[in-house]
Structure 1
Amino acid sequence: MATAETKIELAADADQVWALIGGFGSLPDWLPYIPTSELAEGGRLRSLATPDGQRIVERLLSFDHAARSYSYAILEAPFPVTDYRSTLRVKASGDGRGSVVEWSGEFTPNGVSDADASALFREIYEDGLKALQVGLAKK
């Protein structure tokens, strides 16, 4: 089992950040490489499209609004991994004036090394959180 994780500190309040990213169907609102998200099964299944038309299907595993966290699994994707589980979490920063967003995952590499799979998802998480930071700065 391989893992990847990253976090970013933001000047925005944790509740404000969660309001933007906390919806399971909200990826297109802050993640530029996911232009569409369609929910099914009462909001527990999301079908995502990448800009080049690839499809990603994910299932919501747990959702905790009070803790500002959700976990999901990838069911179908063009990634070289299986058994993918990930968590996205927003916490108030230590000084209470900002927030920290954490994105982590664990998965089994398929046809690539643990290091390569971890690097792939770490880059996806880092790029996504940087895009979130830029998007919040524009608001």
Structure 2
Amino acid sequence: MSKAYASTIVPAPADTVWAIIRDFDGLPTWHTGIAKSSIDDGLPPDLVGCIRTLVLQDGASIREKLLALSDVDRSMSYDFQASPFPVRDYEATLRVLPVTDGDASFVEWSATFTAAESDEAAMRDTFAKGVFQSGLDALKQHVAKTRKA
């Protein structure tokens, strides 16, 4: 089992950041790698068990199932139902924690997965840097813009 991980500090309160992240259908509003998102069967995006279909900027498609959503813990977990990535048993968690020294948030995004040994390092790098860190960088920019507006 491999793990991919990225984290950042967002200069905004945890509740503000969580309000953006908790929308399981909202990735295209802040993650620049996601072109479109839709929730299957018209279900609410905060219903555990709902499935979203993401269209990436390159046209590839991913289906993900919301496994857990906690407003108390400010966290969500999801898995791949279908993806172009050569991995199995993928499960990711996105979490927001308050930074007690100032008005900021600690945001972490991680995933565990299984991949062939020949793909493992590349997939870890793809998720940690190409998806998670780039998404967290975009989240910081999005939060900064919305706070100025």
> 56, 70, 92: which is aligned to 2:98?
92
Deviation at 1:96, TM superposition (A): 4.8
> 86, 99, 107: which is aligned to 2:113?
107
Moved more, 89-98 or 4-13: 89-98
Can you give the 5+ residue segments of structure 2 that lack an aligned partner in the other structure? none
Q: Indicate if the aligned counterparts of 2:60 and 2:84 stay in contact, CA closer than 8 A.
A: yes
CA 133–117 in structure 1, closer or farther in 2 if over 3 Å, else same: same
Q: Report the TM-score when normalising by structure 1.
A: 0.93
Q: Report the TM-score when normalising by structure 2.
A: 0.87
Indicate yes or no: 2:113 matched with 1:126.
no
In the alignment, which residue of structure 1 is the partner of 2:28? Answer: 28
3-state secondary structure, aligned to 1:74: strand
Deviation at 1:114, TM superposition (A): 2.4
In the alignment, which residue of structure 2 is the partner of 1:39? Answer: 39
Can you give the 5+ residue segments of structure 1 that lack an aligned partner in the other structure? none
Instruction: Give the letter for the 1:60 counterpart.
Output: L
Deviation at 1:115, TM superposition (A): 2.0
Describe the superposition over 1:63-97 as per-residue Cα deviations: whole angstroms up to 9, x where unpaired: 11111100000111111211100000011013151
3-state secondary structure, aligned to 2:100: coil
Instruction: Give the letter for the 2:22 counterpart.
Output: G
Indicate yes or no: 2:63 matched with 1:64.
no
Cα RMSD, aligned residues only: 1.4
